[in-house]
Chains A and B, each alone.
Chain A
Amino acid sequence: AQTVTQSQPEMSVQEAETVTLSCTYDTSESDYYLFWYKQPPSRQMILVIRQEAYKQQNATENRFSVNFQKAAKSFSLKISDSQLGDAAMYFCAYRSGGGGADGLTFGKGTHLIIQP
């Protein structure tokens, strides 16, 4: 079974600064997907970014980027120019490849605090 580990229960960053959230995973599969989701107090799960394991290039979405190290099984999220609206729980998630039939395995989450 796959496991996802987020070792930082809480992170704090000054507004406009950059922060990196860590995620490692364990799998024996070669085809899989990795995701970062954001959950604000409204509890809505919002997709932040997606990475396909077969792609060497790191995914980016505006101020959000990942550092995907497949050999090290590491998938960190970098948030640049942090904004107050970025404050939320961030969950790293894993999904096996093969047609989307599998559910997601989540890490325990990192609570991100943005200091004004």
Chain B
Amino acid sequence: SAVISQKPSRDICQRGTSLTIQCQVDSQVTMMFWYRQQPGQSLTLIATANQGSEATYESGFVIDKFPISRPNLTFSTLTVSNMSPEDSSIYLCSVGGWSGGAGAADTQYFGPGTRLTVL
């Protein structure tokens, strides 16, 4: 599968601050996605990031709170703005449309996640 890295792997932040999470892929991919996993919960899609266009946000997520950049086909960032303790979650980047291997283009592969704690 594609090799996906995220930075930072974890962070502890103060209320009211912002954190930018980076996602880097070792090959070009069409689609990049950001998910949130609240403690003990399943994954929820935040937004889809396409290169060269605005990100598409799911219901309940807004650009002012979660601005996303996608400057090229191997990199994306997610910023969690004006954080509150309710933002404490694992944030995961995933990629789709990877060209390697049978069926790979239809599959999403995930990065290792960023564990965010907001005090």
Interface string of B71-105 (1 = CB under 8 A from A): 00000000000000000001010101100000101
Interface string of A36-66 (1 = CB under 8 A from B): 0100001111110010100000000000000
The answer to whether the Cβ of A78 comes within 8 Å of any Cβ in the partner chain is no
Q: Are A109 and B113 in contact (CB under 8 A)?
A: no
The reply to whether A44 and B45 form a contact with Cβ atoms under 8 Å apart is no
Q: Are A104 and B113 in contact (CB under 8 A)?
A: no
Binds B, one of A12-20, A21-29, A80-88, A95-103: A95-103
A75 on interface, CB distance cutoff 8 Å? no
A44 pairs with B113, CB closer than 8 A: yes
Q: Are B105 and A100 in contact (CB under 8 A)?
A: yes
A residues in contact with B97, CB < 8 Å: 99-100
**Interface residue tally of chain B, by bracket?**
20 to 34
Is A68 interfacial (CB-CB < 8 Å)? no
Q: Are A100 and B106 in contact (CB under 8 A)?
A: yes
On whether the beta carbons of B43 and A44 are closer than 8 Å, the reply is no
Q: Is the interface of A mostly helix, strand, loop or mixed?
A: loop
For A35, the chain B residues whose CB sits under 8 A away are 107-108
Is B54 close to A, CB under 8 A?
A: no
Nearest A residue to B105, CB-CB: A100
A27 to B42, CA, bound (A): 19
Tell me whether A50 and B107 are in contact in the complex, defined as CB-CB below 8 angstroms, given that A103-B33, A106-B42 are known contacts: yes
Those of B38-86 within 8 Å (CB) of chain A: 41-45, 48, 58
The 6 nearest A-B residue pairs measured at CB: A45-B110, A103-B45, A100-B96, A106-B42, A106-B43, A100-B97
Q: Which residues of B contact A (CB under 8 A)?
A: 1, 30-31, 33, 35, 37, 41-45, 48, 58, 90, 92, 94, 96-97, 103, 105-110, 112-113, 115
28 residue pairs bridging A and B, Cβ less than 8 Å apart: A42-B112, A43-B37, A43-B115, A44-B112, A44-B113, A45-B43, A45-B92, A45-B113, A46-B110, A47-B107, A91-B43, A95-B106, A99-B97, A100-B30, A100-B105, A100-B106, A100-B108, A101-B96, A102-B48, A103-B35, A103-B45, A103-B108, A104-B33, A104-B35, A104-B43, A104-B94, A105-B45, A108-B41
